[in-house]
Structure 1
Amino acid sequence: MSYFSFSQEKEIINQGQFWTGYMTSARISENYSLWNDFHYVPDGFFVARTGITRSFFEKLYLTAGYAYLNIPTESNDTKLNRTEHRPWMQTVANHELTERWTMINRVRYDMRYRQNFANGELLNDFNFNHRLRLLIGLRYHFEKQTIFSGTPYINLSNEVLINFGENIITNHFNQNRTWLTLGLRLENTSFQVGYMNRFVKLSQNQRFVRNHTLVVWISQRFDFRKKEILGDDDEHFYQIP
């Protein structure tokens, strides 16, 4: 871990991370599917998220659900595992720019119930605030290329996360995530490996962490309908954490 300061007032901590994730979507009817995803970052966080997705038109999707998080923190030099309960909802729109280029727009809303702590101990109560997440991404498919009978692709995305609510006074900016991944799409599975720059504001004033993160994500889709028809549905194939 290294430290770099722009000035005496603003401090940035640089550190490395590894993020592994597993995401699934299961079609249960023509317009509905079940969403599940799991993410683990050592010394960072664990997320288990579930929800139900309703598709509108061909490339517009609305999802709502619940997430459980375990987030390591410190209090009085004591390491704690803080619990967070997070009802959430999102809308995703995919736009086919060309035969190979797709634009992804996502707006996600999080209701964050985070466990309080004090004097090196976790408390039984929770504080509450809102968070809005705005994502835009570009995906390029190498349609005429195959690797292990799969189609390779590149994904470039940026997401801004903003806090708001009566408990938010100085830290409206939460974090910014920018990532570039190389992916491989097989019959019902997608693999992504790449780099994410995750720039996070700490609770202390003018202190930030820049996480240089190696990501390895796996996405799978299933179809539980009586007639097993897997359509070319981008949102059910390329899930975003």
Structure 2
Amino acid sequence: MKFYPFFIFFLFATSYCQGQKEKNIDHQSILWTRYYNQVFFNEKWSLHSEIDNRLFLKPIQENVFLARVQGRYKINEHLETGVGIAYFSVNTQIPEVNPDFTIPEYRGQQDLTWKQNLGKFTINQRFQLEERFIHNANKENLLPGSTFSWRFRYRLQTDYTFWKKEKQLLKAVLSDEIMFNFGKNIIENTFDQNRIYTAIHYGLNSNVAFELGYLNSFQRRSSGTDYFNRDIIRISIFHKIKRSKKL
């Protein structure tokens, strides 16, 4: 897989979307906490699951709770793929508005991920497709049926290992991810959002790691003229379980 053409396209697309005329930008502060579990059955197959809770900080208000599971297959040294499903429970996207109900979303996902080790650096590209089923709702309650749309995500990420000793390590993470919506119900927000993320990742041992990061999410809403600009603190716990002694 060629790296540079995708990299150049990614920079162009990100700059283009960020450079569009922006109106009615709502600034928000959010805390994301995540537990990410990986069960490795052998060198090829693994099962990944996560639980993620997202909380507005100003004012304090629940935003989203999600659960996700996916099966992953390692094709070769550089490529792996995954298929999964996710459940989202959306309380509100605006903390000042707190409805008495939550909006469920069911999501399928498929991805192809490319990885290259370059000494202390690791470069990672992920191409992901999602099928989104969002329950219909108005401002007062849920309505019958759901709305379907597709979303394509491309993430470019690099890791740099500062220190590694036996089963412990300390590394920095930097990534940028761009997302596009498409489907018959998508009219004004083909560009969905861009996420820039930076973090410090500490591996306590070969099975447990912690990550503290900052994520900026710039998201276009369905109106096409309203945007969310979100400052997000993300705390993650990674837990690996190896079912084979050979791993």
What's 1:85 paired with?
106
- 1:178 aligns to 2:191 (yes or no): no
8 Å Cα contact 1:141/1:154 also seen in 2: yes
Match among 180, 202, 213 for residue 162 of structure 1: 180
8 Å Cα contact 2:40/2:46 also seen in 1: yes
What's 1:28 paired with?
41
What's 1:103 paired with?
123
Q: Deviations over 1:98-117 (max 9, x none)?
A: x1001010011110000001
1:180/1:82 CA distance change after superposition, 3 Å:
same
Q: How far did residue 130 of structure 1 move?
A: 0.2
Q: How far did residue 229 of structure 1 move?
A: 2.8
TM-score (normalised: structure 1): 0.84
Q: How far did residue 77 of structure 1 move?
A: 7.3
Higher helix fraction (1 or 2): 2
Could you tell me which amino acid in structure 2 is paired with residue 72 of structure 1?
N
Q: How far did residue 203 of structure 1 move?
A: 2.3
Q: How far did residue 119 of structure 1 move?
A: 5.0
1:79/1:12 CA distance change after superposition, 3 Å:
farther
8 Å Cα contact 1:18/1:41 also seen in 2: yes
8 Å Cα contact 1:202/1:209 also seen in 2: yes
1:77/1:37 CA distance change after superposition, 3 Å:
closer
Q: Deviations over 1:182-201 (max 9, x none)?
A: 11112212211021101111
CA distance in 1, matches of 2:222, 2:172: 34
What's 2:151 paired with?
131
Aligned length: 219
Q: How far did residue 144 of structure 1 move?
A: 5.2
- 1:142 aligns to 2:162 (yes or no): yes
- 1:192 aligns to 2:205 (yes or no): no
Identical-pair percentage: 26
What's 2:30 paired with?
17
Q: Deviations over 1:77-126 (max 9, x none)?
A: 745310000011111111112x1001010011110000001251102311
8 Å Cα contact 2:160/2:171 also seen in 1: yes
Could you tell me which amino acid in structure 1 is paired with residue 46 of structure 2?
S
Residue 157 of structure 1: SS of its match in structure 2? Answer: strand
8 Å Cα contact 1:197/1:212 also seen in 2: yes
What's 2:231 paired with?
212
- 1:45 aligns to 2:64 (yes or no): yes
Could you tell me which amino acid in structure 2 is paired with residue 170 of structure 1?
E
Structure 1: which 4+ aligned runs deviate by more than 4 Å? 74-77
Could you tell me which amino acid in structure 1 is paired with residue 179 of structure 2?
L
CA distance in 1, matches of 2:172, 2:23: 34
RMSD value over aligned CA atoms? 2.3
8 Å Cα contact 1:73/1:79 also seen in 2: no
Unaligned runs of 5+ in 1: 1-7, 231-241
